[in-house]
Structure 1
Amino acid sequence: MGFSSNLQGKSAHEALLSRQDAELRLLDSMKRCILSKVRCDRDYAVALGSVATQGLKMDRGDELQGSLVASTWKTMMEELDTTGKLIKQNADTIESKLLDTLNSLYAEKRKVRKAYQEEHARILQQFTHVSGIFGSGVNLDWTE
């Protein structure tokens, strides 16, 4: 199976390279955004933990023993702390799994781009060689 006639020529080659470059830039931008999200989530988790710690510093006197308000407040602060821990755990998971996947995809895209360029150069060199053998009646300018 060959290349479509619409994908032959210098402009098509440049369009393919441009698309590959744009995808690499997008992956890089995605990585920066995800890293920023992970950093924000971790900061938020730390802040929630601090709020929960501060909220749990209650006077431990007998005055509040059996108080529904104190019990409710303690439960709420414990849930806030648990939420902070879950957010941090999620940020760690995103960083370890998603960023590894993005880095692999980025490396693969760069490898494919390089292979495409090398193959294109090899084919162009063969074409130039064959055209030289059979005469110069072939237009190698690729301008359309």
Structure 2
Amino acid sequence: MTSTTTYRIGHPVVLDELPAGTEIRDADGDTGTKVQDGAWKVIGFPVALDPDWFRFPVEVVNPTPETALLVADFAGLHRLPDLMAELRSVVADIRTLRTSQEDKLDELRDENGDVPSGNLRRWDELRYDIHVEQDSDKLAAVLRRLEQLVDTEGSE
């Protein structure tokens, strides 16, 4: 990689997986290097520190391509619960919208479940009233929400 930093790391567990010799910079500007025993050596501290000492998010300084891939893989695993919660929320929103539409359609039916001819126009409006712009905006909002969850360069 040619950049001086790679993906932001938001969890100490990811730091545990980095190889010895990896240098990181935390949100406060402190720089640490991972040593062979798994601890972190930070300039100005006489003892090695644990990964949870750093202020997150942290970034890898001058990553190798292998380190960048490792960070992406492990950081992604810790975002999975957030991503799943967001997907569940999207599905719940869709179900709520569908239920609301079905409730409105049911109100137009008579006691036999048929739609009287006087209600057919409204039935068609509710049943086929798909606003392309509105649906497009909703899908774009969903896409933005998902992209924010998996954006490795964005803020945490």
TM-score by length of 1: 0.39
Per chain length, whose mean CA-contact separation is higher, i.e. which structure has more relative contact order (CA < 8 Å, sep 6+)? 1
| Higher CA-based Rg | 1
TM-score by length of 2: 0.37
Bigger proportion of residues as helix: 1
Bigger proportion of residues as strand: 2
